[in-house]
């Protein structure tokens, strides 16, 4: 006669394994690849640097001869305006980037293949 406790424990373990597999598949579909995240973050860094590079030239004249409270309000508004201009991640841009990168890697692979010439010298296909 099979042990009912062992059978219940086995079913529980199988259910937990199925749940873990399901959660992993859900999470895998909702996250971006590491290369995509690096590309998006580096693009955002460039945008932020560009937005704040000449910040002092644009905002400085607005702050002249103002009380501290007004300066704080102006700075807060200008910083938030620049941060709001940052765009959300566009999945289409990531897809286009990946296609370009794939074509680029294929081109590199094609160009790096070598062949032996008529006199035995290696030639690089360009």
Give the number of other CB atoms < 10 A from CB of residue 126. 5
Q: Is this structure's pTM higher than 0.85? A: no
The answer to whether 86 and 74 are in contact (CB under 8 A) is no
Segments of the chain assigned E as strands? 114-116, 122-124
From first to last of the 126 residues of the chain, give the pLDDT tens digit: 568 888 888 888 898 888 888 888 777 766 777 777 787 788 778 878 888 888 888 888 888 889 999 999 999 999 898 888 777 767 777 778 778 888 877 777 777 665 444 444 454 454
Q: Is the dihedral of CA 65, 68, 69, 72 positive or negative?
A: positive
**106-to-42, 58, 103, 113, 123 alpha-carbon distances in Å:** 24, 45, 5, 11, 19
Residue boundaries of the structural domains of the chain: 1-31, 34-89, 92-126
Burial of 33: CB neighbours in 10 Å, binned 0-12, 13-18, 19+: exposed
């Amino acid at each position: 006669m099979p042990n009912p406790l062992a059978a219940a424990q086995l079913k529980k373990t199988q259910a937990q394994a199925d749940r873990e597999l399901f959660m992993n598949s859900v999470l895998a579909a909702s996250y971006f690849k590491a290369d995509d995240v690096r590309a998006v973050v580096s693009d955002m860094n460039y945008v932020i640097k560009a937005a704040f590079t000449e910040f002092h030239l644009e905002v400085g004249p607005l702050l002249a001869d103002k009380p501290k409270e007004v300066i704080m309000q102006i700075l807060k508004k200008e910083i938030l305006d620049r941060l709001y201009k940052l765009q959300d991640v566009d999945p289409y841009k990531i897809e286009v980037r990946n296609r370009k990168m794939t074509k680029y890697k294929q081109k590199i692979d094609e160009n790096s293949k070598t062949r032996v010439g008529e006199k035995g010298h290696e030639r690089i296909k360009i």
